[in-house]
Amino acid sequence: MKTIIKTTALSILAALMMGTSASALAHKVGIVDMQSIYQQIPQMAKIEQQLQTEFAERRQELEKLQGDVRFEMEKFQRESATMSDDQKNALRDKIQGMQKQLAEKGRPLEQEIKARQNQELAKVQKLIVETIQSVAKSGKFDEVKVKDTTIYFNPDKVTDLSSKVVEAVSKK
């Protein structure tokens, strides 16, 4: 009789433990593909257009200077056989001066463009994160992970929220 009671008690205890562990593991997980989100939202195209417009004049100036350097280098290659040493040295000095000017103007422009891109991307990233949180709360998700940093997930048990996030961000 004691063994029956012990066996029954152990069976009940095991069943209770299995029930709590199953409920502990049964939480709702979502996943987002950040690259896909960035590629699909219209805000990214707006940022690209805005930065193109903002830096267009300075980029054109650099492109003109690059073209001038190329022209002078080609001129040097074509005509160096018929040039005097003084003409060659003068043209070399001119090309080197133009290349130095190009570097002096190009580096700061690249740095400024990158800084502006980072500013605008930070704004969009904040909007995306807030939207992910909102979508997760409204869908009663316990956890949302980024697809790129997740090694493995079972697509049958994890919901991809990327399209919902894109849709919500696109409306803002």
Each of the 172 residues of the chain gets a pLDDT tens digit; together they read: 444 444 433 344 344 444 444 444 567 889 999 999 999 999 999 999 999 999 999 999 999 999 999 999 998 888 888 888 898 899 899 999 999 999 998 899 999 999 999 999 999 999 999 999 999 999 888 989 898 888 888 888 888 888 889 988 888 7
Per-residue pLDDT, 20: 41
Report the CATH fold assignment for 2-170.
Protein Binding, DinI Protein; Chain A (3.30.910)
What distances in angstroms separate CA 150 from CA 32, 33, 118, 143, 154, one per listed residue? 10, 10, 25, 13, 11
pTM of the model: 0.66
Rounded Cα distance, 158 and 119, in Å: 33
Q: pLDDT at position 76, please?
A: 86
- Cβ 32 vs Cβ 136: under 8 Å: no
What totals of helices (H) and strands (E) does the chain contain, helices first?
A: 5, 3
Per the CB < 8 A criterion, the answer to whether 128 and 37 are in contact is yes
Domain ranges of the chain: 2-170
Of the candidates 31, 37, 100, which has an alpha carbon nearest to the alpha carbon of residue 65? 100
